[in-house]
Amino acid sequence: YQDEDDICRSTFFGAFGHLGTMPMYTIYAYRDPEGRDDYLSENFLRSRIMDVADTGTYRLDGSYENDFDSYFLFVVRESAEESKRYINDPANEPFSFHVKEFFPIQYSDSRGFGGSFSGVLYNEHDPTDSLIISQGAFTFGIVNYDDHCGF
């Protein structure tokens, strides 16, 4: 989603940070007919990839319940009170990110990044309900901003 009245703002962004010396990335994306970019959005995803030091494949083997794990969470809001959470499950089909490139950011130790992701996400409460993502792609030339004109 990109707001027609404010082309600088979108409902997706990438974040870069460190846990000690370990670089980590978090991807946020929201889909909502009114442009909401919070937990009440119609759909949202959040994924964190830990210890991303170089290009390559990173398996997501953690849980969104732990702040410093590698995970993928996709939420489908069915109503104001009900939603389904789809998560990576390391015990089943692996979910992975393939980091293909980095983008240096002038005057910053942050780096943008791009690549692809694929795997199976399982409904947290009904493992027979799953989503298969086979050709997910991302490119974040700028990180830590959801205002794309303010950097």
* pLDDT tens-digit readout, 4-42: 555 555 667 788 888 888 899 998 887 776 766 666 777
Q: Are 62 and 24 in contact (CB under 8 A)?
A: no
135 or 2, which is more confident: 135
Query: Which pLDDT value is given to residue 5?
Result: 54
Residue 151 has pLDDT above 50, yes or no: no
Encoded amino acid at 94, one letter: P
User: What is the pLDDT, as a whole number, of residue 146?
Assistant: 53
| Other CB atoms within 10 A of residue 72 CB | 25
112: pLDDT strictly greater than 80: yes
Only one residue has tokens 């939603």, namely 83
Contacts of 106 (CB under 8 A, 6+ apart): none
CA distance 117 to 115: 7
On average, the pLDDT of the chain sits at: 83
Write down the pLDDT at residue 10: 60
Q: Alpha carbon of 115 to those of 6, 96, 108, 141, 145: distances in Å?
A: 27, 11, 21, 11, 19
Written as six digits, the tokens of 145 are 């901003």
Q: Which of 100, 88, 103 is nearest to 16 (CA)?
A: 103
- Look at residue 77 in the predicted model and tell me its pLDDT: 84
Tokens of 48: 């964190």
Q: How far apart are alpha carbons 76 and 89 in whole angstroms?
A: 17
Contact 47, 64 (CB under 8 A): no
Residue type, 107: Y
Helix ranges restricted to H, 85-140: none
Q: Which long-range contacts (CB under 8 A, 24 or more apart) does 127-132 make?
A: 127/89, 127/92, 129/84, 130/86, 131/74, 131/86
